[in-house]
Chains A and B, each alone.
Chain A
Amino acid sequence: MQKSLHIDPGKCTGCLQCESACSLVNEGMVNPSKSRIKVFTFHDEGRFVPYTCTQCDEAWCMQACPVDAIVLNPVNGSKDVLSDVCVGCKVCTIACPFGTINYNTSTGKVVKCDLCGGDPECVEACPTQAITYVDANATGLDKMRAWAAKTDNAAGA
């Protein structure tokens, strides 16, 4: 079963545990500036929104790459950067409509979320379940359940 990252901004407290965990596993140090998942704080609105790659099926980054450095991981559906192939041309960063693939100045390569190979550290780190890893075919399950709960079927009881 393929899984997707599922983000519920309403549960996010803006603690950045996800950014720390992401950078720790991918960069070997706690460094939110190099995290593949970012939490945006909209101060005046009192909102925190985590954001990262959605692993598009027809991934624009993958299609734009001139050296085929971005490949589909057939197991978990992620689009992974082959860093030894990447030439750092940054065309993918222009192609991505969501800004979730970015250039890393210290390596000269691009980086993006690869779902940690199927066991995302951000999910493990998140203290409020704002980020979960769920069945990719039913990412709407929580919302469906919430609406289902509101269905009035007790009228005749």
Chain B
Amino acid sequence: MSWTRKILRVNLTNGTVVEEALNMDWANEYLGQRGLGTRYLVDEIDPQCDALGPDNKLIMTTGPLTGTIASTGGRYSVVCKSPLTGTVACSNSGGFFGAELKFAGWDMIIFEGKAATPMYLNIEDDVAKLMPADDLWGQSCWATDHALRQKHQDPQVRIACVGRSAEEGNLYAAVVNDLHRAAGRSGVGTVMASKNLKAVVCRGTLGLGGIDDPKRFMQTVKDGKKVLAENAVTGQGLPTYGTQVLMNVINEVGALPTRNMTQTQFEGANDVGGEAMHLPRKSDGKANLTTNGACYSCTIACGRISTIDRTHFSVKDKPEYWINSGGLEYEAAWALGPDTGVDDIDALTYANFLCNEDGMDPISFGSTVAAAMELFETGVITTEHTGGMALKFGSAEALCWAAEVTAKGEGFGADLGLGSKRLCEKYGKPELSMTVKGQEFPAYDPRGIQGMGLAYATSNRGACHLRGYTVASEILGIPEKTDPLESAGKPGLVKAFQDATAAVDSAGLCVFTTFAWTMDDIAPQVDAACEGDWSTERMMEVGERIWNLEKDFNQKAGITGADDTLPARLLTEGANSGPAKGRTSELSQMLPEYYQLRGYSADGSMTDETRQKWSLPS
């Protein structure tokens, strides 16, 4: 079965924890994780509810392959309504927490209501209890993790928690698990903190049995691992350089958004990319990168384990940061680096450490700093607002300072915690916010990679690279090469990526496998592990159903086709250099065909026919 078929329902208002059976009808339609969690959310909350009020719910959800031996089968998602975008939020994380939840016997936890005082949930196999967390409130994720380990005297617990940014209402706060993996985007950590829920501690010793066809499953797992090992991206590029392998590639094609997307190439890209992380530094001869690390069951191991130069200004008097921890991944490195114009890899690593320590989405944080820098450079924000700090593009000092004050929500850090959209609105320059539906862009300029413009505009959680990564096709040629400067043909490509990704997420696997795996590699693993027939076609259907479920939630929340757009900068200002020079995003040429392929009306609305086709809840 692979599902444990059990969910935990935690009512924080009443302090109750009860066991429920998993709705297997929904599991058959939505598979697990992202899809199944969203199905529960749609059923249980008013899409128009206040995301930070007690009526929102927070769902931690695993997939059927989470906690199996399938490569990358360790992922879980946090699903809720987003305070940043007002859309459905579903943030996916690796590490070890998700698998541990399965080993304890649970597919999913639904948190509802709001606790009167800070609490955490302690799970030891089938016993789950709410415990007071007053002493943890006001502490970072790292301090919380440490304190809970001390308290429980069990080195094998896995912990997911929120930091000070979430407590202070930062709208892009993350849920951090295993110290440096995060359900990062859309402010899911903010929602968790709004419920006075500080952490979930989990220890699972029951294990995961009940694989439908164990022998066939092991064969499909072995076959899958072999494909990943023999593929150049998943077998060599990602282990060696991590996702940072992309920095120079994306810069070369002229799609590296720079200085709040005013430029499309960064002259300092070489200094902050994957190769730079391997170079010995002058102070101690060590490289930024210590080693690569894996999430649970992952045979790719793209994770970066890094140190900051101890002589760097950011940490020279702070030995607590002279440690190894999660290093720069591409999206974070881009937001903290090229987008702010900072080319100091130690400053980026420090800011990244702080994002992990206090649970901030580094993409949204970096992009918001970039917007603030443009506001500063144009004289809208001054040192009076910042308390003296000159927020200039390229200033490593400003970046490190911004991370410190935003992590704690202090002073101007509270403004930066609003996110780019609200920050720019507050200072009267909404056009400078590089966001879709209120969520900051990731690291690909849609003027140079046309498919990504459509993917961003139509993403169900605002601008995002993980909802339809056409970069794979347009730049890397996976599964087949398409021209990044050509908008024709992209609507179908975007839709296919969106649907496939929803299915991969919902299985509990990592989307990075799809650099090597197609659905024909994934479906057999799901099919062998789960009851019923899970063909490639069914997986794609499940993916499309999930996409439409999310879309329908957003529509009911008041999001319309008019929100499927990009900032004017990307639609009217041509790329300033590189292969895409002079080009803008051709979004308006792609949207009509996309809506048609999706079965939406011309204005981008979900139709009754499409709703019925996918048997979506009314």
Q: How far is the CB of B191 from chain A (nearest CB, A)?
A: 27
CB distance from A18 to the nearest CB of B (A): 10
State whether the Cβ of A86 lies closer than 8 Å to any Cβ in chain B: no
Given contacts A46-B305, A46-B324, contact A30 B69 (CB under 8 A): yes
* B179, B203, B291 — most chain A CB neighbours (10 Å): B291
Asked if A31 and B69 sit within 8 Å, CB to CB, the answer is no
Of residues 31 through 69 on chain A, the ones whose CB sits less than 8 Å from some CB of chain B are 31-34, 43-48
- A44 and B68: CB pair below 8 A? no
Q: Is the CB of B209 within 8 A of A28?
A: yes
Nearest Cβ distance between residue A119 and chain B, in whole angstroms? 14
Distance between Cα atoms of A36 and B179 in the complex (Å): 26
Residues of A within 8 A of B103 (CB): 30-33
**B325 on the interface (CB 8 Å rule)?**
yes
For A76, list chain B residues within 8 Å (CB).
none
| B208 and A30 contact, CB distance less than 8 A | yes
B301 contact from A20, A30, A44, A128, Cβ within 8 A: A128
Q: How far is the CA of A15 from the CA of B229 in the complex (A)?
A: 14
When the two chains form their complex, are residues B324 and A45 in contact, meaning their CB atoms are under 8 A apart?
yes
Contact B297 A33 (CB under 8 A): no
10 pairs from A and B in contact (CB 8 Å cutoff): A15-B295, A17-B69, A30-B68, A30-B69, A30-B208, A31-B103, A31-B205, A31-B208, A33-B156, A46-B293
Interface pair B229/A127, CB less than 8 Å apart: yes
A95 / chain B contacts, CB cutoff of 8 Å? none
Q: A17-B297, A46-B305 are in contact. List 12 more A-B contacts (CB 8 A).
A: A13-B292, A13-B294, A13-B303, A17-B71, A24-B218, A27-B207, A30-B208, A32-B103, A33-B203, A34-B205, A44-B323, A46-B307
- B484 interfacial by beta-carbon distance below 8 Å: no
A14-B229 contact, Cβ under 8 Å, with A46-B307, A127-B299: no
Within 8 A of B (CB), among A112-157: 125, 127-128
Q: Which of A24, A28, A45 has the most CB of B within 10 A?
A: A24
Could you say which residues of chain B place their CB within 8 Å of the CB of A47? 291
Contacts of A17 in B (CB 8 A): 69, 71, 297, 299
**B290 at interface (Cβ–Cβ under 8 A)?**
yes
In the bound complex, residues from chain A placing their C-beta under 8 Å from that of B239 are 13
- Chain B 280-324 residues near chain A, CB threshold 8 A: 290-299, 301, 303, 305-307, 323-324
Evaluate contact between A16 and B296: CB separation under 8 angstroms. Answer: yes
- B225 an interface residue at 8 Å Cβ cutoff? yes
Number of contacting residues on B, CB 8 A? 39
Docked Cα-Cα span, A99 to B204, in Å, equals 21
Q: Is A21 an interface residue (CB 8 A)?
A: yes
> Could you tell me if A14 and B294 are in contact, using CB atoms closer than 8 angstroms?
yes
The answer to whether A43 touches B294, judged by C-beta atoms less than 8 angstroms apart, is no
| A29 to B292 Cα, complex, angstroms | 28
Closest to A42 in B: B324
A117 to chain B, nearest CB (A): 17
Q: Is B297 within 8 A of A16, CB to CB?
A: yes
Report which A residues bind B (CB closer than 8 A).
Answer: 13-17, 20-21, 23-24, 27-34, 43-48, 125, 127-128
**Is B184's CB within 8 Å of the partner chain A?**
no
Question: Does B543 lie at the interface of the complex (its beta carbon under 8 Å from any beta carbon of A)?
Answer: no
Task: Given A30-B67, A46-B324, A48-B293, decide whether A15 and B207 contact each other with a Cβ distance below 8 A.
Answer: no
Inter-chain contact count A-B, CB under 8 Å?
A: 86
Interface: B24 (CB within 8 A) = no
Assembled-state Cα–Cα distance A125/B68 (Å) = 13
A17-B69, A30-B69, A33-B204 known; A43 vs B209 contact (CB < 8 Å):
no
Query: In the bound complex, how far is the Cα of B227 from the Cα of A127, in angstroms?
Result: 12
Contacts of A15 in B (CB 8 A): 294-299, 301
Pair B205/A24 contact, Cβ less than 8 Å = no
| B206 lies within 8 A of chain A by Cβ | yes
Given A29-B209, A31-B208, A34-B207: A43 touches B290 (CB 8 Å cut-off): no
**Nearest CB in chain B: distance from A132 CB, A:** 15
Closest 6 CB pairs of A and B: A31-B207, A46-B324, A15-B294, A127-B299, A29-B209, A46-B290
Report the separation of the CA atoms of residues A33 and B204 in the bound assembly, to the nearest whole angstrom. 8
| CB within 8 Å for A24 and B69 given contacts A17-B299, A44-B324 | yes
Q: Using an 8 Å CB-CB cutoff, how does the interface string of B187-227 with A read, 1 for contact, 0 for none?
A: 00000000000000001111111100000001000000100
Chain B residues closer than 8 Å to A46, beta-carbon distance: 290-291, 293, 305-307, 324
Question: What's the Cα separation between A132 and B294 when bound, in Å?
Answer: 19
Report the Cα distance A127→B299, complex, angstroms. Answer: 6
B205 adjacent to A13 (CB under 8 Å): no
A50 vs B209: C-alpha distance in the bound complex, in angstroms?
A: 24
Over the window 390-406 of chain B, the binary record of Cβ atoms lying under 8 Å from chain A Cβ atoms (1 yes, 0 no) is 00000000000000000
Q: Let me know if A29 and B208 touch, CB within 8 A.
A: yes
**Could you mark each residue 161-184 of chain B with 1 if its beta carbon is under 8 Å from any beta carbon of chain A, else 0?**
000000000000000000100000
- Report the separation of the CA atoms of residues A1 and B323 in the bound assembly, to the nearest whole angstrom: 44
- Return chain B residues, CB-CB under 8 Å to A28: 209
B205 touches A33 (CB 8 A): yes
A43 to B99 Cα, complex, angstroms: 19
- Provide the residues of chain B in CB contact with A27, threshold 8 Å: 207
Closest Cβ of chain A to B238, distance in Å, is 11
Which residues of A lie under 8 Å from residue B210 when comparing CB positions?
29
Known A15-B299, A127-B225, A128-B301; contact A29-B207, beta-carbon cutoff 8 A: yes
- In the complex the two chains form, what is the Cα distance from A31 to B293 in whole Å? 21
- B259-284 residues with Cβ-Cβ distance < 8 A to A are none
Given contacts A14-B293, A30-B207, A33-B207, contact A43 B179 (CB under 8 A): yes
Contacts of B99 in A (CB 8 A): 32
